[in-house]
Amino acid sequence: MSNLSYIDDSDRAFGATGMAIGIAIADAEEMADGINIDLDPAEMMLMADVFWLAGHHGEGARQLRRQIVNAYHVTVVMSIANLLCRSIVGQRRMASPDQRTALRDIALIEGRESCCLDDDEITALFDKDYNYLTRVFSHSGVQEVARQIASTLTSRRSLSRIEMLECLRPLSML
């Protein structure tokens, strides 16, 4: 996995699993509607209207900005979790420095464009999340749950929101 592209269906399943776990870690389950690994990579995680409409509610400017930054943060967490689940759990190795840099560069562009954050803020957020998620996906219990979810996704190809939340439930026991 020299870049961020998926190498096969198993890799896609681990990536989608990572995104689901990332959503749970970010405490943003309300933003997800399910998973379908047969869709384009950017569309595998089915997002609820509350995610797409962040910043479009009739609320004050401060609250709207908070919603936009939160949706951005959830996206960063999902992206990092995708990569780390694929590499640490699926391939049993750490992601390469080049992959980390490529993902951070994407986060920088998106953070500047969608949230008007400066590079120092984005880098600090990215590094904090990357380090935390590295510890999460290195945990044997999380790896076991991730393998179960990825196996289910490989065979079923999709999970509804309810099914996804049920698969994630064992994480609350860790």
* DSSP H or E segment with residue 160: strand 158-160
Q: Give the pLDDT band (50/70/90) at residue 123.
A: very high
% of the chain at pLDDT higher than 90: 83
Q: Judge contact between 128 and 104, C-beta under 8 A.
A: no
Q: Is 72 exposed, middle or buried (0-12, 13-18, 19+ CB in 10 A)?
A: buried
% of the chain at pLDDT higher than 70: 94
Locate the domains of the chain by residue range.
Answer: 9-164
Quote the CA–CA distance of 136 and 85 in Å, as a whole number: 9
Q: Give the pLDDT band (50/70/90) at residue 141.
A: very high
**Cα 118 versus chain centre, distance:** 22
**9-164: which CATH topology?**
Methane Monooxygenase Hydroxylase; Chain G, domain 1 (1.20.58)
36: β partners:
158
pLDDT digit string, tens, across residues 66-87: 888 999 999 999 999 999 999 9
Q: Is the pLDDT of residue 9 over 70?
A: yes
pLDDT digit string, tens, across residues 25-66: 999 999 999 999 999 998 999 998 777 665 555 667 788 888
Q: Is the pLDDT of residue 92 over 70?
A: yes
DSSP string across 17-73: HHHHHHHHHTT-GGGEEEEETTS-GGGSEEEPHHHHTTT-SSS-HHHHHHHHHHHHH
What is the token pair recorded at 69?
């930054």
